[in-house]
Amino acid sequence: MAISKTPIEKPRKFEVVYKDEDGSESIWKYDLDKFPNGPISVEQKYSAEYLKNYKEKTKLAAAQKKYGQLAEMHLALDKVKEKRDKKTPKTTPKPPKNTPKSEFNPKEVVTMEKDKKPPKNTPKSDKNTSKDFW
């Protein structure tokens, strides 16, 4: 049996895909002409579940840093507050007792508050004061 002495050529460019148990995936790209010792780039792809767990862990770590041992209690209270805010409906102002419902417009009530003028006793600022100062 004769042994051939011609070397077998390996590919110079290739990719290796690693899949982790948590659902993340990393793609290692190699190009032996550019860099013979390792990958030239690595791409990370994460599942939605992994990202959700990551956000929860970072939120808990930040709360532990801020509140110490009471961090879990503070996070639980924040969740309760968020649920309560979602359940309460936004109320519109009620019409005055003497006005019929057809004439009442809640937007007018808000604009009337915004259009209030300052009292007459306050002095108005003059534009010429800056020239007098210098």
pLDDT at 111: 47
Q: What is the pLDDT of residue 65?
A: 83
Q: Is 68 left (phi over 0), alpha (psi -120 to 50) or beta?
A: left
pLDDT digit of tens for each residue in the chain (134 aa)?
567 677 788 889 999 999 988 888 999 999 999 999 999 999 999 988 888 888 988 988 888 888 887 888 888 888 888 888 877 666 666 666 665 656 656 555 544 444 556 556 655 555 555 555 55
The residue ranges of every structural domain in the chain are 10-46, 48-112
First-residue to last-residue Cα distance in the chain = 105
Contact 67, 74 (CB under 8 A): yes
Rounded to an integer, what is the distance from CA 77 to the centroid of its chain?
20
